Structure 1
Amino acid sequence: MAEWIADFKYLPLETTDGSYMGQYRKVLFYKDRIYVFDIESNLVNIFDMHGKHIRTIGQKSDAPDGLVSLWGFLIDPFQDRVMLYDYFARKMVYYTLEGDFLFKRDMPFSSDQSAVALSPNCFILVGGSRLLNKQNGHLG
């Protein structure tokens, strides 16, 4: 193992009632934050680089920032914001890097694909197997 990894750091993440995680699906490091998507709770936990829990986003609710079903998330490095994808509601929910709600945007389709930001106003879907629109259940 030493021939492949020269150095590593172990960082325990703070566990609180609000930050308990069951199984992570995606971890992103951006600026001075760690973003962890937990597929059991369908939430994104935000930690600082010391492992201290800052906030949890993506709660299911009818509130303006509430979601039906969190499917994935990405970081928009062009506008420094977090984007959560609500699969069943077909919405992208935008937050600041600190987890403050900004706005929701309707999506004309639902997809099980991952997304990557390409420019300030463009992201691309990669991988996955489904891409469905609202009218006829498929694109193509």
Structure 2
Amino acid sequence: MHGQVRFSDGKAPGAMRTIGEVCEALGLKPHVLRYWEQQFPMLTPLKRSGGRRLYRAEDVALVSRIDKLVNEEGYTLKGARNVLEGKQPDADNATARRRPSAQKAPTDDNLLGELQAVRAKLARSLDN
């Protein structure tokens, strides 16, 4: 769902959106979007009283592009920032794109199994 992000909230396509609305439409967590604001200087939503963020249509399009670069095309944040800034990727720069093996995050089941194994090992160590 990149390019033109579709919202099902009944607002006009160019309406400002809250962080929650943007995150729901793109399947992101709010803390990820707030972090991206720190990493991508060109991402500057309006901030109202109390720090409430409002994203313009161009902000939403930029977030969608960042999401595609990072989560679909495998760029690191630095590599994605370089692409957005129009810089040529450095072939020697390992941060431009992740290696294919690093792109796949562990599933919750795998992670849970690994954590349970570590817990069991710690428990055995404490029993000795």
Same fold (TM over 0.5): no
For this structure pair, what is the TM-score category when the shorter chain's length is used for normalisation? Answer: under 0.3
- Taking structure 1 as the reference length, what is the TM-score of the superposition? 0.24
Higher helix share: 2
Higher strand share: 1
Higher relative contact order (CA 8 A, sep 6+): 2
- Taking structure 2 as the reference length, what is the TM-score of the superposition? 0.26
